[in-house]
């Protein structure tokens, strides 16, 4: 198995180091990741500046771009094989519910899927800088083998979230649906020392609706959450309703 690994926390993040190490036990691994943290970069693909890449070790490249750019550049230019699988992570912090639309981690798996390569994103549900990624990394390697063995439906990738508990205490993985955030109070509005207003998005401690079958409900109860995501964003149930409009 040939595997491309990336993330949005940066090439030196402990999560990607643990992930690459675990996957190296089951296949050939190349790492192409941002040279700094690119959290919440979403599926950004800036087109107005050149990219620079530095080989920091054999098979490891740091790119001054987004996770999406890392996947694109890695596959088309930097690595010397066509990957059988792209794995993005291990992210520090959950990527669940509506947050998947902002996530650079998830966007990297999206980009690989657009290119026809099986992919999954994996996140550890903690913001602890000293978190232990070994359990999530071991599960990612297990899932990688299962994914290659069984394949995925067309235009589909997996979004995986692992609770930050002792690996021995992890409950069985659950197949889940994307949850829903509560969006009250998401912006901090304040004044800086020079008297100018500033606004900080995403600093409030937001919560999710605790609905059965969702990614949030699974990880809250100690289960690994596996959510199949699809590239086709068409709301097929709305097609017939729209066709009745006078457009």
pLDDT tens-digit map of 109-141 = 999 999 999 999 999 999 998 999 999 999 999
Average pLDDT, the chain: 93
On the question of pLDDT at 186 being above 80, the answer is no
User: 205 pLDDT band (50/70/90 cuts)?
Assistant: low
User: 169 pLDDT band (50/70/90 cuts)?
Assistant: confident
The strand ranges marked E within the chain are 2-6, 28-34, 53-57, 60-63, 85-92, 119-125, 156-163, 171-175, 187-191, 197-201, 223-230
What single string gives the DSSP state of each residue in 57-86? ETTEEEESS-HHHHHHHIIIIISSS--SEE
pLDDT at 182: 80
Share of the chain above pLDDT 70, in %: 97
Least confident of 15-29, 140-154, 180-194: 180-194
Domain assignments of the chain as residue spans, ordered by start = 2-179+210-233
What dotted CATH number matches 2-179+210-233?
A: 3.40.1210.10
Whether 207 and 182 have beta carbons less than 8 Å apart is answered as yes
pTM summary value? 0.92
pLDDT at 163: 96
Q: How far is CA 138 from the centre of its chain?
A: 17
pLDDT digits (tens, 9 = 90+) for 15-46: 999 999 999 999 999 999 999 999 989 998 88
């Amino acid at each position: 198995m040939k595997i491309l690994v990336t993330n949005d926390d940066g090439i030196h993040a402990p999560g990607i180091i643990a992930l690459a190490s675990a996957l190296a036990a089951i296949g050939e691994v190349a790492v192409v990741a941002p040279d700094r943290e690119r959290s919440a970069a979403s599926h950004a693909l800036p087109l107005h500046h050149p990219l620079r890449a530095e080989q920091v070790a054999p098979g490891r490249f740091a790119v001054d771009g987004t996770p999406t750019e890392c996947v694109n550049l890695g596959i088309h230019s930097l690595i010397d094989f066509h990957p059988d699988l792209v794995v993005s992570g291990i992210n520090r912090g959950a990527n669940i519910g509506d947050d998947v639309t902002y996530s650079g981690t998830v966007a990297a798996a999206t980009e690989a899927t657009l290119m026809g390569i099986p992919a999954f994103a994996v996140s550890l549900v903690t913001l602890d800088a000293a978190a232990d990624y070994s359990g999530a990394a071991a599960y990612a390697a297990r899932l990688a083998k299962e994914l290659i063995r069984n394949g995925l439906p067309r235009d589909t990738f997996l979004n995986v979230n692992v609770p930050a508990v002792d690996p021995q205490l992890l409950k069985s993985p659950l197949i889940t649906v994307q949850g829903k955030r509560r969006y009250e109070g998401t912006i901090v509005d304040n004044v800086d020392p020079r008297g100018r207003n500033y606004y900080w998005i995403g600093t409030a401690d937001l919560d999710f609706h605790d609905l059965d079958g969702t990614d949030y409900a699974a990880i809250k109860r100690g289960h690994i959450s596996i959510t199949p995501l699809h590239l086709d964003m068409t709301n097929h149930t709305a097609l017939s309703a729209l066709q009745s409009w006078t457009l």
